[in-house]
A and B are shown apart, each in its own frame.
Chain A
Amino acid sequence: MASTSLDRKPRALHVLDIVSALLMAATIYMVLFYAPTERVMGQVQRLFYLHVASAWVSMAVLILAAILGIVYLVRPQNKIDIWAVACIELGLVYAFICVTTGAIWARPAWNTWWTWDPRVVTFTILILVYLAYMLLRQGIEDPQRRARFGAIYAIMASVTVPLTYFSIRIWRTLHPVVIGSGDPSAQGTFDMTRPMLHTLLFSLLAFSIFGFTLLWHRVRLGWLADRVEQLRMKALGR
């Protein structure tokens, strides 16, 4: 049975655990000590590295969930569904991190915790859509139908990801544009120096690897939960 291999934690995952711990420690060091203090915003600008990295991870895994949704519809397998759920849960966690760091930054930069700016609005919509995904899954008992509907909803929901990404380019906005040139009315824009760019790229890398590690852990949890469910069914003689 393939499931015996699940009982032990794979060695690659052990390695990844250690690597991501080191990378995250290095990221924090770089953010706090390597990157220079931004002249106008001061220390709070250091949140930017974590904010962008968490936004990147959340959007990447949510798009991945949509791709997995397509794969599931073409070839329905339980394994793929577990991956998709793991992606969306992880994406939600990172989205919350992104919103929280953004709010803390916005307090001094925009002089308010929260504002109904297009970027903030679209990102909030994204979070709400994926929370609804969780509710949808809870509402359906048949596992196959749950997986199928989840796949379709994940594909539909992924529309909000590019919408969020491009929102600051479609409407006038306060939110700074990092990649490409932004709206002159954006507040909190700054020019990145070399060390800042290094820090940003490094934290993107570290967050991606850490995110993948978490994803793997979550998928293992999903597999194990699935097996427990199967054993319970067997024990109940159904």
Chain B
Amino acid sequence: MASFVSAVWAILRKDLAAEWRSRQLVTAMLVFVVLVIFIFAFTLDIDTLTRRQIAAGVLWTTFAFAGTLGLNRTLASEGERGSLDGLLLAPVERSAIYFGKTLANLFFMLVVEIFTLPLYAVFYDMNLAQPGLWLVLLLGSWCFCSVGMLLAAMAAQARSRELLLPVLLFPLVLPVLVSAVRASSAFLNGLGLEYALPSLNILIAYGIIMPALGFMFFDFIVEE
């Protein structure tokens, strides 16, 4: 158990260190997110009241797109220099690689979200400083990354890699997105925990089932 955790930690630290040196991914994700938010603002051209109602949807769509960018990158960057083979040869459990990479992706997504929320609050004049919303963001992103990492590992071995990932990922994370949007907008509209609870339960169930599947099946995906 202790060795498993230290393996996960090592992989997480490796990915964070690599990202810290290049700062490619997070920068790209951030620029992308800002662009998407502007595009929404220009194309939807909405009044204050509607803005409040659709905020949760806009935020989650944006984060899902940005998260897909990150997922596509994590394995592609390993593949470029053949370091994935080295990683697979390492004498650790394969599922440790899955968890390490999922956590790294979660970290990148959270960084992007932390930068986006104040921007969004300023541009759209909304109060996003709500712990309930943050909880939903954390849970939803965890679900998104844990499903996404599994599928990214699959898509990386298919013919049309980057094309395939969104096609596989979006249907499977739709339940996550739908529940996350419902829960977020419950908190944003001040309806409280009671209204958010059914959706939160789905997120929690997803956030347990999908990592468990990843734990069991990651071995089968990367085996040669």
Contacts and interface: CB of A to CB of B under 8 A. Distances in A.
A181 B201 CA distance: 21
B159 A139 contact: yes
Contacts of A148: 220-221
Nearest to B201: A170
Interface string B168-179: 101110110010
Nearest to B169: A132
A203 interface: no
A73 B221 CA distance: 11
Given A156-B150, A156-B213, A139 B172 contact: no
A122 B174 CA distance: 9
A159 B171 contact: no
Interface in A149-170: 149, 151-153, 155-157, 159-160, 163, 170
B213 A132 contact: no
Interface string B154-173: 11011110001001101110
Contacts of A132: 167-168, 171-172
A128 B174 contact: yes
Given A128-B174, A132-B171, A149-B221, A170 B154 contact: no
A217 B150 CA distance: 33
Contact of B158 (A122, A136, A152): A136
B87 interface: no
Interface residue tally on B, bucketed by range = 20 to 34
A152 B206 contact: no
Contacts of B178: 121, 125
A153 B210 CA distance: 11
B158 A139 contact: yes
Interface string A167-187: 000110000000000000000
A145 interface: yes
A129 interface: yes
A171 B170 CA distance: 22
Contact of B164 (A122, A139, A157): A139
A131 interface: yes
Say whether chain B's binding surface is mostly helix, strand, loop, or mixed. Answer: helix
B192 interface: no
Contacts of B213: 152, 155-156
B164 A159 contact: no
Contacts of A160: 172, 175
A141 interface: yes
A125 B175 CA distance: 8
B54 interface: no
Given A156-B172, A163-B175, A171-B198, A135 B167 contact: yes
B172 A157 contact: yes
Contacts of B221: 148-149, 152
Contacts of A104: none
Interface in A109-153: 121-122, 125, 128-129, 131-132, 135-136, 139-141, 145, 148-149, 151-153
B224 to A, nearest CB: 9
State the 4 A-B residue pairs at the shortest beta-carbon distance, nearest first: A128-B171, A139-B158, A129-B171, A125-B174
Interface of B: 147, 150, 154-155, 157-160, 164, 167-168, 170-172, 174-175, 178, 198, 201-202, 206, 209-210, 213, 217, 220-221
12 contacts: A73-B217, A125-B171, A128-B174, A129-B174, A131-B171, A132-B172, A136-B164, A139-B155, A139-B158, A148-B220, A149-B158, A156-B150
